[in-house]
């Protein structure tokens, strides 16, 4: 099982960043690696993602929530076996560090190669940066989008 740890600093207060993260059904609007998210109930969601390994579908179950600070999940036993946790750290009143940890179990030779070459890690970095830009644009307000 591979472990990915990445972080990004976002120019927005921690509460705002957390609230944007828990609206995961909006991820496909701005994250290039997320095709769709269907929230089917409290703590349950269905995901379609695209990585160098191809298009993958999985169910996720939220296993822990500490309001404003931490969300953990388990990706189940499907073709994309993984679990993760995201934490939100106050840097100052207007800056938040988002730290993401993923445990991913690749299946088959191709997925092992994709992971070994760092493509999954790159996708995570890109998606975190997409999230950062989305939150910062929203925090700046409508005047910045002109």
Convert the pLDDT of each residue in 39-75 to its tens digit. 988 889 998 988 766 788 888 999 999 999 999 999 8
What's the distance, CA 35 to chain centroid?
Answer: 13
How much is the pTM? Answer: 0.83
pLDDT level of residue 145 (50, 70, 90 thresholds): very low
CB 33 within 8 A of CB 126: yes
**Residue 26 CB burial class (10 angstroms; 0-12, 13-18, ≥19):** middle
List the domains of the chain with CATH numbers. Answer: 2-23+62-140 (3.30.530.20)
Convert the pLDDT of each residue in 100-130 to its tens digit. 998 877 665 545 555 554 556 667 888 899 9
Q: What is the pLDDT of residue 137?
A: 93
């Amino acid at each position: 099982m591979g472990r990915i740890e990445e972080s990004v600093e976002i120019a927005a207060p921690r509460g705002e960043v957390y609230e944007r993260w828990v609206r995961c059904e909006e991820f496909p609007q701005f994250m290039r690696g997320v095709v769709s998210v269907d929230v089917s109930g409290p703590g349950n969601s269905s995901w379609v993602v695209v990585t160098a390994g191809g298009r993958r579908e999985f169910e996720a179950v939220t296993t822990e929530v500490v309001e404003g600070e931490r969300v953990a999940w388990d990706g189940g036993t499907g073709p994309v076996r993984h679990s993760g946790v995201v934490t939100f750290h106050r840097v100052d009143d207007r800056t938040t560090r988002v730290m993401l940890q993923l445990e991913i179990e690749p299946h088959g030779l191709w997925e092992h190669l994709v992971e070994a070459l760092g493509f999954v890690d790159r996708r995570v970095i890109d998606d975190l940066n997409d999230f950062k830009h989305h939150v910062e644009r929203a925090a700046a307000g409508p005047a910045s989008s002109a």
